Structure 1
Amino acid sequence: MGTDVQVLYFGILREMYVQAREEHFSLASGATVADLVERIGERHPPFVPIRERIRIAVNEEFAASGHVLSSGDTVALIPPIAGGSDRYCVVTDEPLRIDPLVDAVAGPGQGAVVAFVGTVRDENEGHEVTELRYEAYSAMALRALNSVIDRCEQSARGARVAVSHRIGELQVGDAAVVLAASAPHRAEAFAAARMCIELLKQEVPIWKRETSPDGAEWLGMRP
């Protein structure tokens, strides 16, 4: 019996190297992550030169190349980010979870980990909100997020930061952005998390359209 898996592609990897949002692969029984990566390269030759820089997550947990896949697994390919292949930085239309980001920044020398989840609220400036739509220039957004992370990590010795921002249609209560920051001590971890969310809001090309009972409006365009 074979192994059937779903593969998800994100950001610049999806747009420039694979040109697909998701695909399904049928593999031999006992196939590993490395076997899947080989198959992806056969199907998408532009992917081959960068495959060593890709991080792989299986069922929302990072996995090594020797991890054995099972039928029904969801495999996500995390795109390469300038400045380090170990960085977790994602713009996606999939629901967000904080756990993978916490795992990405945790480590033996990190005495504090701060997690932040920004959700869609039902009110803004006195107006009822029923839905938000986030739109991004994905490739540029990833570069901008990477720049933000660089500065946050440089702000304190030993700081590490991971960020994921959702795009598309979101309902009240949905997570729009999740981030995790770690450092040897709590003060630096809190400061890095605060710095990250503030810079993200100011600099990353992600736009927000707010829907209320009175209609829809792109925020930032009010007189």
Structure 2
Amino acid sequence: MIEITKTKIDVAGLIAAVSHEGAGATDVFIGTTRNKTSDKTVVKLDFEAYEPMAIKELQKIVDRAKQQWPILKYAVVHRVGVVEIGEEAVVIAVSTPHRQAAFESCRFIIDELKKSVPIWKKEIFEDGDVWVAAHP
């Protein structure tokens, strides 16, 4: 399951979606909106995406992960629009037969997402805003 959404992410639903009787491990990465960047107070984030390409790129990343690790099920959901402090901006869940594969594949997916998926983040402060380079 890969999705770009404007609504809050149902974390428990995603964990349930990757449940598999052959899984010995489920790993979940939850990226949330924090209230500080450097010394500046963040009020909220605003995400934009080129959705058709973002979904294609996410699928390529998951396909590469599946070649490296025995992923049984996966879910990758990223928010667009305004994401308030404390809310989930991205959730990745994977189930695998063993924990090491779950940890490694989940980390791979978020790291590759940050490198290549066309999703952009604007940090909104009390005194202005700035687009953040998502692909350092």
Shorter-chain TM-score: which interval?
over 0.9
Q: Secondary structure at the match of 1:101?
A: helix
1:123 counterpart residue number: 36
Mapped partners of 2:127, 2:133: distance in 1:
17
Cα distance in 1 for partners of 2:52, 2:79 equals 14
In structure 1, which of residues 118, 128, 143 is the aligned counterpart of residue 56 of structure 2?
A: 143
Distance in 2, Cα, partners of 1:155 & 1:212: 40
Unmatched tracts of structure 2, length 5 or more: none
Q: TM-score normalized by structure 1?
A: 0.57
Q: Which residue of 2 aligns with 1:99?
A: 12
**Deviations along 1:120-146, whole A, 9 cap, x unmatched?**
000112221111000000111110111
The structure with the larger Rg is 1
Q: Normalized against structure 2, the TM-score is what?
A: 0.92
- My pick for the range that moved more, 128-137 or 211-220, is 211-220
Shift of 1:183: 0.6
Match in the other structure for 1:204: 117
Per-residue deviation at 1:200? 0.8
Give the distance between the partners of 1:192 and 1:142, measured in 2 at CA: 18
Q: What does residue 88 of structure 2 align with?
A: 175
SS in 1 for 2:9: coil
Structure number with greater CO (CA < 8 Å, separation at least 6) is: 2
Query: Which runs of 4 or more aligned residues in structure 1 lie more than 6 Å from their structure 2 counterparts after TM superposition?
Result: none
Task: Give the aligned length.
Answer: 134
Instruction: Find the aligned partners of 1:129 and 1:158 in 2 and give their Cα distance.
Output: 36
Question: AA paired with 1:163?
Answer: V
2:104 is matched with: 191
% identical equivalent positions: 38
Secondary structure of the residue aligned to 2:54 is helix
Task: Tell me how far apart the structure 1 counterparts of residues 32 and 126 of structure 2 sit (CA, whole Å).
Answer: 20
What is the rounded CA distance, in whole Å, between the counterparts of 2:71 and 2:89 in structure 1? 27
Aligned partner letter, 2:86: G
- 2:33 and 2:84 in contact (8 A); partners too: yes
**SS state of the match for residue 133, structure 2?**
coil
Superposed CA RMSD in Å reads 1.4
